[in-house]
Amino acid sequence: MKARIHVSLKPGVLDPQGKAILGALESMGFDGVQDARQGKLIELDLDDDTDADTARARVDDMCRRLLANTVIEKYTIDLEG
Amino acid sequence: MSDAKITPEIVAEHGLNAEEYARVLEIMGREPNITELGIFSVMWSEHCSYKSSKKWLKTLPTTAPWVIHGPGENAGVVDIGDGLTAVFKMESHNHPSFIEPYQGAATGVGGILRDVFTMGARPVANLNALRFGAPDHPKTRHLISGVVSGIGGYGNCVGVPTVGGEVNFHPGYNGNILVNAMTVGIAPADRIFTSQARGVGNPVVYVGSKTGRDGIHGATMASAEFSADSEEKRPTVQVGDPFTEKLLIEACLELMDTDAIVAIQDMGAAGLTSSSFEMASKGGLGVDLALDTVPMREAGMTPYELMLSESQERMLMVLQPGKEHVARAIFEKWHLDFAVIGRLTDTGRMVLTWHGETVADLPIDPLAEAAPEYDRPWEPTPAPAPLDPATVPVVPWTEALTRLMGSPDLASRRWIWEQYDHMVMGDTVQRPGGDAAVVRIHGTDRGLAATTDCTPRYVGADPVMGGRQAVAEAWRNLTATGARPLAVTDNLNFGNPEKPRIMGQVVGACQGIAEACRALDFPVVSGNVSLYNETEGQAIPPTPTIGGVGVIDDLDRMATVAVPAEGEAILVIGGGPADGWLGQSLYLREIAGREEGAPPPVDLAVERRTGDLVRGLIQAGRVTACHDVSDGGLLVAVAEMALAGSIGATLSVDTTPAALFGEDQGRYVVTLPEAEAASLLADLGGTARRIGVTGGDALVIGADSVALATVRTAHDGWLPGIMSSTPGRS
Amino acid sequence: MKAAVIVFPGSNCDRDVAVTLRDVTGQDPRMHWHADPDLPEDLDLIVLPGGFSHGDYLRCGAMAAQAPVIAAVRRQAQRGVAMLGICNGFQVLCETGLLPGALMRNRDLTYICKDVHLKVVTTDTIFTSRYDPARVVRIPIAHHDGNYVADLPTQCMLEDEDRVAVRYCDAAGRVVDEANPNGSTANIAGVLSENHRILGLMPHPERLADPRLGGTDGRALFTSLLEALS
């Protein structure tokens, strides 16, 4: 089973990297981009015999304790397979 | 995999010509398999065999009473007194940095660090000599930004200060940038490690990161086995892991404090092949390696890939028998892979097995000894037409100075070095921006000075003189801090050596370097050659970069470039009334837009005499600041000193462009208290002349002046200015 | 004064701060490996040094905050043992929650190594008692992620409880945006714990504590500690 965790900055926290991306896109002539936020994607390969609910609970625990800093970041978890 | 048919195409794709392949067949006595062919290809590559340059490298002076190890080891080693040695080398990572500037530069730093700590030294300083294309070339900013962040990203993380270097811009580098990285380390003189294997039966041990498919070139991926899968499986860009490197440094140095290591060699370019070959060859031994025991990062790797991988942060060691557990405990503590992958033998052969089956079997010495060595045809560089001074435009000096100080080759590099941790380790006593960087020898009041230098426009116009000048300038930059210059590492960057014109540059530069090293007692102890720096037939300007190292015996008697006080006398030491060489000068290039004439001559006897004199004055505490005169000439040197100290100067000098901006060699500007100026001038006779006095907030000559603030704005503003303009993609 | 420096894999200012501690206190600090959960109980000061613990690969300080030694660090923090986190050490302290807020990528996205000017906001602490509040101090920074962020309630709490230790300022001592090197909220360069016994700061006082290196403004932090803790 694969877990895909998307970690990004909470709304309202300034994202200097996202800002730089937006600025670059604008300067390259791509209009119509309202905002850009940069995050990270973490992929975990989990034991295949784990059931989805247990897996989700464990990954959520991982996120809270290590993978995201909930002072500034939020996360979403996708399970697959 | 070993039964893949070796076709002429596969041989060619491995960079071997027909004659070389015939030699392979002769040495093997049979057709090699693909793994064996790969090994030949790597060992006989230009990178490993120096086949085009070896003949000329042999002409460089490499010995002195203080030289402990010259070229041939991972890095040069010189005695610096008190039972310590300086261990240093410079190496290029040009092509990878052009393809992927961040990782290319980062892995360049990683590689040169390993060359130094492999020898038992703790790295204490990094320097970088960089050459980029025209500032307005569409790729340049992207490359600067990537290279600088790559150097910083790696060096900052491993915790070795990046303290110096140089940067040039020229359209000749548009298609081939140069990234030459230098590391200086310090090791106890009685505990230097080399790669010479000893002891039949001793275990061969692999430590560091796992092996992946990094850096296995597309061209060598030819056989049927390799063509099936997607490109994704085969990264050819090496990715650096500075965190692992930091752990590797600490683990290796910890193990080196025990008596477990017999020999050690980093796996650089050509990875496991060249490291195992080198160790066995130097020891006159053979080696058996069980390739299936090599720690692997991905499944399905073949012996061919394992032998050719350029994965970073790996080392190969021969251990004392029975010491495996000592080493294993240390590497496991640092979370690094550790595996006994083979044994030394007395067969003189390299035998590789894969799950018990022999997959390659080659003789070591014949392969190493038969490495091709070419005497490539060369033609001397024609002497340039001398510059006619009457054709040089005269621009008011105030305007010329401001323009020069804000020109690409002279503008402040602060934007770059503020992205490097130049203070970690707590011993940086001269930060970047001076003549040479100085780091304190930890726990003492002594220092090591280091610099990198080359003036490619001089080398292009006259390779012999340019080669001399590169060495002389490095020597001068060390001298200007008060250091005793000890030795150099050279990084020879040129175009395609198969063209006689380019080979002529190599030959000329080597001649000039050899002459200067000999005259200045400044031997070459390590180095690297990078050839084929060409794109679409356009070669780079010849760039033999010289990295120099010197020692300061008393840091209280060290000079810096900063004007220290108002009301001090300013003297020029060296040169004379006939000064005014504008051929190949920055004035000519930046103000007149011309790159013409012969470069300034370097008189090595005068150079030595003047430098020894200046160093003596610094060591005697008779001068308060010192700066050598180089790019931009006398007025630029004074302006740099004034900016560094934030104190102006009033000069009484001729205001012709030749007098102010001529690039005559062998000159230093010094300051000293007014009261002592007369007696020093009397002592120095005709060697020195007084040119002015420090003070105020402007540079003044006669009735004209330019505010330091104006010069500073031009000087500090150029690089941030180009880097903050709209990011573009080419 | 008994001090320990916690060494994480990737720490690289551990030796630098140990040199300064020895120089100021005359005693070598204990160098304590992160994997050893047993910290001596008689320590006066625990230092979390600068560097790139675990490569800073997930977030700066995140993995170090999970190290085996951290449980002992927390216990000793509760007991009021003094703690100093410099640069990466500050990041680790924020990740453990021992200090509030977080350190994000610098505003200009680049690594910055240079001297900055600082205003010592409170001298009523064991870390800053030897500083003259009227004097601007000069100390280097060297980081990629020093942009201090905290939500509004946290900011108010820090201000109300006098827990901002140092702020970035200009040479004249003015706390202005132009003097903010990394975009930190309210120019905050260092914060204190509720009991004022834990300080985290991005500048490196150990780097300018020796006249040979061009300045000694960082030294008073260590002499303050020596005075308070011995």
Q: Is there a catalytic annotation at residue C87?
A: yes
User: For testing the chain C interface, which of B113, B147, B157 should be mutated: the one with the most C CBs within 10 Å?
Assistant: B157
Q: Which of residues 11-30 of A touch B (CB under 8 A)?
A: 23-24, 27-28
Can you tell me the distance from the alpha carbon of B138 to that of B553, in angstroms, rounded to the nearest whole number? Answer: 47
Cα torsion for C117, C122, C124, C126, to the nearest 10°?
-50
Question: Scanning every residue of chain B, which has its alpha carbon at the shortest distance from the alpha carbon of A22?
Answer: B727
Which residues are CB-contacts of B524 (< 8 A; sequence separation ≥ 6)?
B60, B61, B62, B70, B71, B76, B487, B488, B489, B490, B513, B517
Give the DSSP H or E segment for B147: helix B140-158
Task: Please tell me if residue C20 touches chain B, with a CB cutoff of 8 Å.
Answer: yes
Q: Is there a catalytic annotation at residue C227?
A: no
The reply to whether B422 sits in an annotated binding site is: no
Record: contact C149-A65, CB cut-off 8 A: no
Distance to chain B for A24, nearest Cα, Å:
6
Of B319, B352, B369, the residue at which a domain comes to its end is B369
Going by C-alpha positions, the residue among B490, B488, B578, B501 that lies closest to residue B538 is B501
Domains of chain C with CATH codes: 3-229 (3.40.50.880)
Task: Please tell me if residue C109 touches chain B, with a CB cutoff of 8 Å.
Answer: no
Residue B66: strand, helix, or coil: coil
Residue B205: C-alpha distances to residues B191, B202, B308, B340 (Å): 20, 10, 18, 4
The rounded Cα C78 to chain-centroid distance in angstroms is: 18
Q: Which residues of C touch A65 (CB under 8 A)?
A: 66
Determine, yes or no, domain membership for B119: no
B69 and B76 Cβ atoms separated by less than 8 Å: yes
Q: What is the pLDDT of residue B628?
A: 97
Residue B629: strand, helix, or coil: coil
Determine, yes or no, domain membership for B262: yes
Residue B717: strand, helix, or coil: helix
B77 and B85 Cβ atoms separated by less than 8 Å: yes
Determine, yes or no, domain membership for B597: yes
Of B333, B353, B369, the residue at which a domain comes to its end is B369
Neighbours, chain B (3 or more CB pairs < 8 A) = A, C
What angle separates helix B708-724 from helix B397-405, to the nearest 10 degrees?
A: 40
The 10s digit of each residue's pLDDT in C72-104 is 999 999 999 999 999 999 999 999 999 999 999
Task: Please tell me if residue B157 touches chain C, with a CB cutoff of 8 Å.
Answer: yes
Going by C-alpha positions, the residue among B497, B474, B495, B494 that lies closest to residue B486 is B474
Can you tell me the distance from the alpha carbon of C166 to that of C90, in angstroms, rounded to the nearest whole number? Answer: 13
Report the number of distinct structural domains present in chain B.
2
Neighbours, chain C (3 or more CB pairs < 8 A) = A, B
B113 and B126 Cβ atoms separated by less than 8 Å: yes
CB-neighbour burial class of residue B308 (10 A; exposed 0-12, middle 13-18, buried 19+): buried
Cα torsion for C113, C116, C122, C123, to the nearest 10°?
90
- Sheet with C82-86: list strands edge to edge: C30-33, C3-7, C45-48, C82-86, C198-201, C188-192, C164-169, C112-120, C137-143
- State both tokens at A26: 């604008």
Residue A5: strand, helix, or coil: strand
Can you tell me the distance from the alpha carbon of B317 to that of B196, in angstroms, rounded to the nearest whole number? Answer: 10
B286 beta partners: B345
Q: Which residues of A touch C109 (CB under 8 A)?
A: 16-17, 20
Distance to chain C for B158, nearest Cα, Å:
7
Q: Which residues of A touch C62 (CB under 8 A)?
A: 66, 69
Determine, yes or no, domain membership for B593: yes
Q: Is there a catalytic annotation at residue C204?
A: yes
Taking residue B132's Cβ as centre, other Cβ atoms within 10 Å add up to 23
List residues of chain C with CB under 8 Å from any CB of chain A: 58-59, 62-63, 66, 94-95, 101-102, 104-109, 147, 149-150, 183
Angle of CA points B505, B506, B508, to nearest 5°: 65
Q: What is the pLDDT of residue B67?
A: 98
Residue A81 has pLDDT above 80, yes or no: no
Going by C-alpha positions, the residue among B88, B287, B323 that lies closest to residue B192 is B88
Task: Please tell me if residue B239 touches chain C, with a CB cutoff of 8 Å.
Answer: no
Distance to chain C for A19, nearest Cα, Å:
10
C39 and C13 Cβ atoms separated by less than 8 Å: no
User: For testing the chain C interface, which of A9, A71, A73 should be mutated: the one with the most C CBs within 10 Å?
Assistant: A71
Q: What is the pLDDT of residue B730?
A: 36
Determine, yes or no, domain membership for B309: yes
Record: contact C10-B152, CB cut-off 8 A: no
Task: Please tell me the total number of residues recorded for chain C in this structure.
Answer: 230
Give the DSSP H or E segment for B490: strand B484-493
Record: contact B243-C20, CB cut-off 8 A: no
Q: Which of residues 117-156 of C touch B (CB under 8 A)?
A: 140, 142, 144
**ipTM score over 0.90, yes or no:** yes
Q: What is the pLDDT of residue B3?
A: 57
Going by C-alpha positions, the residue among B448, B511, B492, B411 that lies closest to residue B722 is B411
The set of long-range contacts for B278-283, using a CB threshold of 8 Å and a minimum separation of 24, is B278/B195, B279/B195, B279/B196, B279/B197, B279/B204, B279/B316, B279/B318, B280/B197, B280/B344, B280/B350, B280/B364, B281/B364, B281/B365, B281/B368, B282/B194, B282/B195, B282/B196, B282/B197, B283/B196, B283/B197, B283/B198, B283/B344
pLDDT band at C111 (very low <50, low <70, confident <90, very high): very high
Between strands C30-33 and C3-7, the pairing is: parallel
Going by C-alpha positions, the residue among B1, B5, B166, B179 that lies closest to residue B98 is B179
Determine, yes or no, domain membership for B388: no
Distance to chain C for A39, nearest Cα, Å:
12
Which residues are CB-contacts of B568 (< 8 A; sequence separation ≥ 6)?
B624, B625, B671, B672, B673, B674, B693, B694
Angle of CA points B241, B247, B248, to nearest 5°: 85
C116 beta partners: C139
Question: Scanning every residue of chain C, which has its alpha carbon at the shortest distance from the alpha carbon of A13?
Answer: C149
The reply to whether B538 sits in an annotated binding site is: no
CATH number of residue B590's parent domain? 3.90.650.10
Can you tell me the distance from the alpha carbon of B473 to that of B458, in angstroms, rounded to the nearest whole number? Answer: 12
B478 and B436 Cβ atoms separated by less than 8 Å: yes
Helices (H) and strands (E) in chain B, counts: 25, 28
Residue B169: strand, helix, or coil: strand
Neighbours, chain A (3 or more CB pairs < 8 A) = B, C
Determine, yes or no, domain membership for B428: no
Going by C-alpha positions, the residue among C182, C164, C177, C167 that lies closest to residue C103 is C182
Q: What is the pLDDT of residue B48?
A: 75
Cα torsion for B380, B506, B373, B305, to the nearest 10°?
-140
Domains of chain A with CATH codes: 2-80 (3.30.1280.10)
Record: contact A27-B727, CB cut-off 8 A: yes
Record: contact B149-C15, CB cut-off 8 A: no
Can you tell me the distance from the alpha carbon of B517 to that of B457, in angstroms, rounded to the nearest whole number? Answer: 20
Average pLDDT per block of 10 residues along chain B, 730 residues long: 73 88 93 93 82 91 97 95 97 92 94 96 98 96 96 97 97 97 98 95 95 68 36 60 95 96 89 91 95 92 92 94 96 95 96 96 88 91 94 97 98 97 97 95 97 98 98 98 98 96 98 98 96 93 98 97 97 92 98 97 97 98 97 98 98 96 98 96 94 98 97 97 67
Record: contact B243-C140, CB cut-off 8 A: no
Distance to chain A for C188, nearest Cα, Å:
16
Can you tell me the distance from the alpha carbon of B517 to that of B635, in angstroms, rounded to the nearest whole number? Answer: 29
Q: Which of residues 10-29 of A touch C (CB under 8 A)?
A: 13-14, 16-17, 20
Record: contact C111-B149, CB cut-off 8 A: yes
Of B327, B353, B369, the residue at which a domain comes to its end is B369
Q: What is the pLDDT of residue B285?
A: 95
Question: Scanning every residue of chain B, which has its alpha carbon at the shortest distance from the alpha carbon of C36?
Answer: B333
Task: Please tell me if residue C10 touches chain B, with a CB cutoff of 8 Å.
Answer: yes
User: Domain span at residue B612?
Assistant: 568-724
Amino acid at residue number B15: G
Considering C13, C60, C87, C169, which one is annotated as catalytic? C87
B36 and B493 Cβ atoms separated by less than 8 Å: no
Q: What is the pLDDT of residue B222?
A: 33
Give the pTM: 0.94
Task: Please tell me the total number of residues recorded for chain A in this structure.
Answer: 81
- State both tokens at B73: 């080891």
Considering B14, B69, B93, B170, which one is annotated as catalytic? B93
Task: Please tell me if residue C216 touches chain B, with a CB cutoff of 8 Å.
Answer: no
Record: contact B243-C52, CB cut-off 8 A: yes
Please give the average per-residue pLDDT across C12-23, as a whole number.
98
Going by C-alpha positions, the residue among B297, B291, B298 that lies closest to residue B229 is B298
Question: Scanning every residue of chain A, which has its alpha carbon at the shortest distance from the alpha carbon of C67?
Answer: A66
Between strands C137-143 and C147-149, the pairing is: unpaired
Record: contact B242-C19, CB cut-off 8 A: no
- State both tokens at B464: 């012999």
Considering C54, C143, C196, C204, which one is annotated as catalytic? C204
Nearest CB partner across the interface for C51, out of B159, B244, B427: B159
Question: What does DSSP assign to residue C227?
Answer: H
Q: Which residues of A touch C66 (CB under 8 A)?
A: 65-66
Size of the A and B interface in Cβ pairs below 8 Å? 7
Can you tell me the distance from the alpha carbon of B138 to that of B142, in angstroms, rounded to the nearest whole number? Answer: 8
Residue B572: strand, helix, or coil: strand
Determine, yes or no, domain membership for B217: yes
